[in-house]
Amino acid sequence: MELDKDLKQFLEKIMAFANKTGIAYRTGDIYGGLAGFWDFGPIGVEIKNRIKDAWWTEFVRNRDDIVGYEGAIITHPKVWEASGHLSSFTDPLIFCEGKCKKKHRLDHLVEDQLHIQSEHLDLEGMRELVLKEGLICPECGGKLGKPITFNLMFKTQVGPIQDSASIAYLRPENAQLIFSGFRNVIDSTRVKIPFGIAQSGIVFRNEISPRNFLFRVREYELMEFEYFTDPQKTNDCPVFEDVTETQVNIYSRKEQTDKISDDFVPMSIQKAWDDQIFKNKWQAYWLATFNNWFTDKMGINGNKLRFRQHLESELSHYALDTWDIEYQYNFGWKELMGCANRTQYDLEQHQIHSKTKLHFSETDETGVKRYVPYVVAEPSVGLGRILLTILADGYQEETVNDRKRVVLKIHPSLAPYDVAVFPLQKKPQILAKAQDIFKFLRAQGFTVNFDDGGSIGKRYRRHDEIGTPFCVTVDFGTLEDENITIRDRDSMQQTRIPIEKLVEELKNLRNNYLAAKMI
């Protein structure tokens, strides 16, 4: 059976599937749900934790140049003042109640139509002007409604007294915790430039319109790091060789604005660098490294990934150049990961606002050198988006014996269970033997599920659906010869091996999963 993943309904199918299998549910479901917020169920939390662990292992534990950090969710308000988030995100808006229903910046309307400065007016002041001066919608001449203040940040108060001094914000990104904690990290550890500081944590954004299941949400876990270099050596990337051969799909500004080519171009990282498509070598390195991590460790189809450069008009206030790695969802090519070159902007801002020196000192042959480090790359990826991508990419429907088989073909290292153990029959000796193997595998560090419910076929299907890569079945023969059957999720092939080789075999199968798939 061919499953058309481009269909508009595909994501709804994934949502129903995730709900049914215990991956994700609407939060407060019994009360009707809350838009933009999701709970993760028993299966979802396992997959999620494995993705997170894979990220941390790859980019923190297994690297000499990146250290970890974990900042507070409710953040010192000055942090957002310094970063520019506070001033950039309190736009007063007003809606047209006439024909066009469009939204307008109220401060701009007041300035344009009345030619007065709006800077010192609050929302109420501007509202009075609208009524007094009879301002109308500049689009269609319709009546204007009640104005609102739009801020992307969730606000809260700290302590029992509610006044302006008690206002604090839930962080909309982890990055500012890293920047505001930068001084402490360089003072308390022996990091050497170039290096990165990584953080995985929950962030909050009061999105106007949450959409597409786990894709656009108001609370999510962001895994990101800031990679700092000497501002004079932003292109000194000694590990660039590791990625030069990597083949990626490039969708640069040129492809997006040229009428002639409005499609991405496949090429190697080396060629992209030679053709000056990237402005910074480290940024190219990190994008390529993540591309490989998505395909090799997350098992995501590389043909559905592309590198899209932000247009000038899209760039954030702090960014010199930003590239997204996009995935081709059924609802279009959308950002899976962003990687901005944030320059020295943030550290310099915090240096000014905090009156604390945020420079790095190092000694070389020419003497002592001091500088504010330069963030060449900030690879930033939402955990929920990876989970969604893995579900969308791995969900398959096949026809087996005229019946539908739903199988989640996710990388074995991300599956909620490493292996399931079944007794072929509920006979006491077989049950006991299966229990022994179950306990043995668990003691060996595998995440194991024991299932003796219903028929053997039903158990295989149940585990196909949640992505369990291997099932081990104990039968009468096992009692005689100590052999069991390993059944492979994707191919449904069965192999009979001795119990003593089981652990080794499971590890081999898991480690060679992608290579075996290629053949």
Partner RNA sequence: GCGCUGAUAGUCUAGUCUGGUAGGACUCCAGCCUUCCAAGCUGGCUACCCGGGUUCAAAUCCCGGUCGGCGCACCA
Contacts with RNA, residue ranges (CB under 7 A): 8, 11-12, 15-16, 19-20, 26, 32-36, 85, 88-89, 95, 101-103, 152, 172-173, 205, 207-213, 216, 314, 316-318, 331, 400-401, 403-406, 424-426, 453-458, 460-462, 464-465, 473-475, 484-485, 487, 492-494
In 75-174, which residue ranges form alpha helices assigned H by DSSP? 77-83, 85-88, 106-114, 123-133
Residue 357 or 458 with smaller CB distance to RNA: 458
Amino acid identity, residue 257?
Answer: T
Residue 102 Cβ vs RNA, minimum distance, rounded to whole Å:
7
Phi and psi (nearest 5°) for 99? -70, -45
**Do 469 and 412 form a contact (C-beta atoms < 8 A)?**
yes
Residue 297 Cβ vs RNA, minimum distance, rounded to whole Å:
27
**Do 136 and 144 form a contact (C-beta atoms < 8 A)?**
yes
Tokens of 9: 């309904």
Residue 417 or 460 with smaller CB distance to RNA: 460
Query: How far is 489 from 487, CA to CA, in rounded Å?
Result: 7
Residue 35 Cβ vs RNA, minimum distance, rounded to whole Å:
3
Residue 150 Cβ vs RNA, minimum distance, rounded to whole Å:
7
**What 3-state DSSP class applies to 103?**
strand
Residue 157 or 425 with smaller CB distance to RNA: 425
Residue 50 or 216 with smaller CB distance to RNA: 216
124: CB partners within 8 A, 6+ apart: none
Angle at 180 between CA 177 and CA 186, to 5 degrees: 105
Residue 275 Cβ vs RNA, minimum distance, rounded to whole Å:
27
Residue 401 Cβ vs RNA, minimum distance, rounded to whole Å:
5
Residue 12 or 128 with smaller CB distance to RNA: 12
360: CB partners within 8 A, 6+ apart: 186, 193, 228, 370, 371, 372, 373
Half-sphere exposure of 288 (CA within 13 A, CB side): 25
Residue 455 Cβ vs RNA, minimum distance, rounded to whole Å:
4
Residue 178 Cβ vs RNA, minimum distance, rounded to whole Å:
13
Residue 49 Cβ vs RNA, minimum distance, rounded to whole Å:
23
Residue 193 or 320 with smaller CB distance to RNA: 320
User: In Å, how far are 11, 115, 275, 453, 499 from 270, measured between CA atoms?
Assistant: 36, 53, 9, 54, 48
Q: Measured in whole angstroms, how far is the alpha carbon of residue 464 from the centre of its chain?
A: 25
Residue 159 or 332 with smaller CB distance to RNA: 332
Residue 89 or 240 with smaller CB distance to RNA: 89
Residue for token pair 């308000």 = 77
Q: What one-character-per-residue DSSP string does 234-288 give?
A: TT--TTGGGGTT-EEEEE-HHHHH-SS--S-EEEEHHHHHHTT--S-HHHHHHHH
Residue 34 or 265 with smaller CB distance to RNA: 34
Instruction: Report the candidate in 339, 338, 255, 336 with the shortest Cα–Cα distance to residue 295.
Output: 336
Residue 399 Cβ vs RNA, minimum distance, rounded to whole Å:
11
Residue 102 or 271 with smaller CB distance to RNA: 102
